[in-house]
Chain A
Amino acid sequence: MVEKQTLLGKIFDLSNHIFLSLFALFCLFPFWIMVIASFTDDMVLKIDGYLPWARKFSLEAYKWVLAGKEVQIGYQVTIFITIVGTVGSIIVMSGLAYVMSLKRFKHRNKLAFYVFFVMIFVPGVVPWFIVCRNIYGLKDNIQALIVPMMVQPFWVFVLRNFFASLPVELIESAYIDGASDAIILYKIVLPLSTPVIATVGLFMAVAYWNDWFLAVMLLDFAKFRPLSVIILRMVNNIQAIQQAMQQQGTTIHLENLPTQSIRMATAAITIGPIILVYPFVQKYFVRGLVLGAIKG
């Protein structure tokens, strides 16, 4: 729409841009503080605090963080649970969603209700805690961080709605030609569902990457912790920082550690990889998210 700009329109545009820029700045500010502080000399931080402008540059915090044994293990744990968890949950949830979307499957509504009911009547965390630890043996092991959150009913419904919107003829003609449902799902349905798979995959990956709940509930004496929990312990506990920075065969004196910059450097290296994924899935993301929210 081409329209002559009136003075009022110009004022409107200007104030709109100012307000939006301020809000974007507000969203960016914590990241800014985090990144700046992680590259700042620790003595400066201890005297002046975390301030948003560049002061004495230092890479010391990153040297400590990347050499720390606990952090290295934490990185491996977080990457492992994110990859295995995301791939696993896509496989499990799409199998469920595909069958729920099939008109020829008579019990699809019963199955949908089975999945739906746990969304409206939440089972309660106390019995969940007891059952996981005492019956399933999900305690102090890596599967405890993956299996319990693999199926998210909300995303199952988002997947089902997308699958149901695909042309029925395509699926049914393959079925009549003798393709089994597993073949149809993996050779026809999933390749056509890139937007929704990318969306659900991103959400699951972020959820696994940042998850601290399972680790807090189900890890007691494990030798490994995901990065998110290492960070949580560092917030108020200076010994946790010392423990995380421990390297092979050396002892560290707390007073030598750049604790303030280490805090932010650990946060920065935790958040880095997951943000890098975003540009690759961005183009699918809006479409998938909108579809899920409107029909879900």
Chain B
Amino acid sequence: MNSLTKISKYSLPQEGRGTWHFGSYVRENWSLLLLPLPGIVLILMFSYIPMLGNIMAFEDFSPKTGFFSQWVGFRNFTLLLNSPQIGRLIRNTLLLNTMFIAATTFFAVGIALLLNEVRSVFYKRIAQSIMFLPFFMGWTIVAMVLYGLIDYDVGTINGFLVKLGMGRIIITDKPQLWPWILTLIRVWKDTGSGCIIYLAVLVGIDPQLYEAAAIDGANRWQRMRHISLPSLIPIIILLTLMAIGKIFYGDFGMIYTVVGNRALLYPTTDVIDTYILRALRTNSNYGLNAAVGLTQSILGFICIFGANWLAKLYSKARGEDYAIF
């Protein structure tokens, strides 16, 4: 019976709209409607309802009255604009993320280009597997191992310095070093997984291009520079634009765990996310913290649209379709 109705629906398409019945549609397609339901509910619970909860940014929030607390309009935002914090947070967020994007893209592309020139499959596979290892190391373990590397008393770096007959250095009280340390950690963690996508593009290049270039007398370096690299440009631009779209979020997991509660380092490492997270666990001014979060969401939203607009412009100029959405 069930299958018969389906067949009739397929063979008689004109019947479709006129006789559409909600009840029979549900009965026939119950599993179609049931399958996505858990996902829909979870997204509603953990994304859309908190999104509505942003209303607390306009309230003098107290846990007792919940989301129906006293309305204060834009007071939290004026407080925010007048605080010296917000400028520093936005500057650090943008600066650190720019450094991360530039460094990780440079290394992922560079390593992919070099790996592509390796002829030994065995060497290539081993190198790639080793470079992929950091991907598995969670940020809390990274924080632990970093302690092992930079600690004043037992750290590896100071151990080397002592062996070389030099004095120990206190790395944790030099805020100016930390943007570079964090960038280095990102390069360490992301290069192996980041270069996979570029390698896949390189594998797809027509080998005849290389042969023709070789016959014309181009050496290995020139072939890499003039054939491999240009074919990566579109995907580099696309992935960079996607990263810029997310520039207000960045990887705060690393900063929160690695920097921890060393307040001395906040001037150069404190970003919007770490500030909110810390504030949530230490003070109870939820309204103000929500205002910081909502500001971030809105700036992020604008940024994503800007990046997508640029991606569309770029792909239009090339006559291809590269827009993110």
Q: Which of A50, A178, A211, A263 has the most CB of B within 10 A?
A: A50
| Residue in B closest to A183 when the chains form the complex, CB atoms | B31
- Contact check: which of B54, B117, B139, B159 meets A212 at CB < 8 Å? B139
User: B137 and A271: CB pair below 8 A?
Assistant: yes
Q: Which of B36, B193, B296 has the most CB of A within 10 A?
A: B36
| Across-interface contacts of A37 in B (CB, < 8 A) | 148
A254 at the interface (CB under 8 A from B): no
- Select the stretch in B96-104, B150-158, B175-183 that faces chain A: B150-158
Q: How far is the CA of A1 from the CA of B209 in the complex (A)?
A: 12
| Across-interface contacts of A3 in B (CB, < 8 A) | 214
A92 at the interface (CB under 8 A from B): yes
Name 16 extra pairs, CB < 8 A, besides A126-B289, A217-B277: A27-B130, A30-B134, A49-B162, A50-B151, A120-B300, A121-B300, A123-B53, A125-B280, A131-B49, A176-B6, A180-B31, A210-B141, A228-B140, A228-B141, A267-B141, A290-B197
A87 at the interface (CB under 8 A from B): no
B319 at the interface (CB under 8 A from A): no
A293 at the interface (CB under 8 A from B): yes
Given contacts A49-B154, A181-B31, contact A124 B54 (CB under 8 A): yes
Q: B-contacting residues of A (Cβ < 8 Å)?
A: 1, 3, 6, 8-9, 12-13, 16-17, 19-21, 23-24, 26-28, 30-31, 33-34, 37, 45-46, 48-52, 91-93, 95-96, 98-100, 102, 105, 111, 114-116, 118, 120-132, 134-136, 147-148, 150-151, 153, 156, 175-178, 180-183, 185, 206, 209-213, 216-217, 228-229, 231-232, 234-236, 260, 263-264, 266-267, 270-271, 274-275, 278, 282, 286, 289-290, 293-294
Q: How far is the CA of A289 from the CA of B239 in the complex (A)?
A: 14
| Across-interface contacts of B277 in A (CB, < 8 A) | 125, 216-217
Q: How far is the CA of A11 from the CA of B43 in the complex (A)?
A: 55
| Residue in A closest to B66 when the chains form the complex, CB atoms | A134
Give the contacts of B1-44 with A (CB-CB under 8 A): 2-3, 6-7, 10, 29-32, 34-40, 42-43
- Contact check: which of B148, B196, B210, B325 meets A34 at CB < 8 Å? B148
User: A131 and B50: CB pair below 8 A?
Assistant: yes
B241 at the interface (CB under 8 A from A): no
Main SS of chain B's interface residues? helix
- Contact check: which of B131, B141, B294 meets A23 at CB < 8 Å? B131
| Across-interface contacts of A235 in B (CB, < 8 A) | 140, 143-144, 147, 260
Interface Cβ pair total, 8 Å cutoff: 298
B249 at the interface (CB under 8 A from A): yes
Q: How far is the CA of A69 from the CA of B139 in the complex (A)?
A: 23
User: A232 and B10: CB pair below 8 A?
Assistant: no
Given contacts A98-B35, A235-B260, contact A27 B131 (CB under 8 A): yes
| Across-interface contacts of A100 in B (CB, < 8 A) | 36
Kindly provide the distance from the CB of A263 to the nearest chain B CB, expressed in whole angstroms: 6
User: A124 and B50: CB pair below 8 A?
Assistant: yes
User: A178 and B6: CB pair below 8 A?
Assistant: yes
User: A50 and B196: CB pair below 8 A?
Assistant: no
Kindly provide the distance from the CB of B270 to the nearest chain A CB, expressed in whole angstroms: 16
Q: Which of A16, A28, A125 has the most CB of B within 10 A?
A: A125
Give the contacts of B108-166 with A (CB-CB under 8 A): 111, 114-115, 117-119, 123, 126-127, 129-149, 151, 153-156, 158-160, 162-163
Across the A-B interface, the 8 shortest Cβ-Cβ residue pairs: A210-B138, A127-B53, A178-B3, A96-B39, A124-B293, A49-B159, A95-B35, A182-B31
User: B286 and A130: CB pair below 8 A?
Assistant: yes
Q: How far is the CA of A111 from the CA of B32 in the complex (A)?
A: 13
- Contact check: which of A45, A92, A153 meets B38 at CB < 8 Å? A92
| Residue in B closest to A177 when the chains form the complex, CB atoms | B3
User: A212 and B38: CB pair below 8 A?
Assistant: no
- Contact check: which of B6, B191, B294 meets A175 at CB < 8 Å? B6
- Contact check: which of A12, A96, A289 meets B35 at CB < 8 Å? A96
Q: How far is the CA of A144 from the CA of B170 in the complex (A)?
A: 39
Kindly provide the distance from the CB of B192 to the nearest chain A CB, expressed in whole angstroms: 6
| Across-interface contacts of A178 in B (CB, < 8 A) | 2-3, 6
Kindly provide the distance from the CB of A87 to the nearest chain B CB, expressed in whole angstroms: 13
Given contacts A17-B118, A96-B39, A121-B297, contact A232 B257 (CB under 8 A): yes
Give the contacts of B217-256 with A (CB-CB under 8 A): 219-221, 235, 239, 249, 253
